[in-house]
Structure 1
Amino acid sequence: MKGNVIILLLGILFLITGCQTANNEEKTIYVAAASDLYHALTEIGLEFMEETDIKVEFTFGSTGLLTQQIQEGAPFDLFASAHESYVDKLVEVGAIIPNSKNYYAIGRIVIMGESPGRNLDEQLLLDPEIRTITIANPEHAPYGKAAKEALEAWGIWEEVEPKLVYAENIRQAYQYVESGNADIGIIALALMTNTDYTYELIDESNHQPIVQALGITKQTEMEEESRLFADFMLSARGQEILMKYGFDLP
Structure 2
Amino acid sequence: MRFHAFVFAALLAIGLCSASQARAQAPTSDIPIVAAAADLAFALEDAAKDFTGQSGRQVKLSLGSSGNFFRQIQQGAPFQIFLSADEDFVFRLADAGLTKDRGVLYAIGRLALIVPPGSPLQPDGSLADLKAALQAGRVTRFAIANPEHAPYGRRAEETLRHLGLWDAIHDKLVLGENVSQAAQFAVSGGAQGGIVAYSLVLSPQMEQRGRHALIPAEWHQPLRQRMVLLKNADDTAQRFYDYLQSTAGRRILVRYGFVLPGEQS
**Corresponding position of 2:217:** 204
**For 1:142 and 1:117, how far apart are their aligned partners in 2?**
24
The SS at the match of 2:32 is: strand
Moved over 3 A (4+): 114-119
Where do 1:136-147 residues align within 5 Å?
136-147=145-156
**Corresponding position of 1:135:** 144
Q: Which amino acid aligns with 1:140?
A: H
Deviations along 1:110-168, one digit per CA (max 9) or x if unpaired, are 01103479452423323111111110011111111110110111111111111111110
Report the identity percentage: 37
Partner residue of 2:71 out of 62, 68, 73: 68
Where do 1:96-135 residues align within 5 Å?
96-99=99-102, 101-114=103-116, 115=119, 118-120=122-124, 121-126=126-131, 127=133, 128-135=137-144
Q: 1:149 to 1:232 in 2, by over 3 A?
A: same
Gaps of 5+ in 1: 1-24
Aligned length: 222
Q: Which amino acid aligns with 1:210?
A: L
**For 1:66 and 1:181, how far apart are their aligned partners in 2?**
28
Q: TM-score, normalised by structure 2?
A: 0.80
Counterpart contact for 2:186–2:192, Cα < 8 Å: yes
**For 1:117 and 1:166, how far apart are their aligned partners in 2?**
19
Q: Report whether the alignment pairs 1:185 with 2:194.
A: yes
Between structures 1 and 2, the one with greater helix share: 1
Q: 1:103 to 1:119 in 2, by over 3 A?
A: closer
Q: TM-score, normalised by structure 1?
A: 0.85
Which structure has the larger Rg? Answer: 1
Where do 1:140-159 residues align within 5 Å?
140-159=149-168
**Corresponding position of 1:234:** 245
Deviations along 1:162-195, one digit per CA (max 9) or x if unpaired, are 1111110000001102221221110101001221
Gaps of 5+ in 2: 1-28
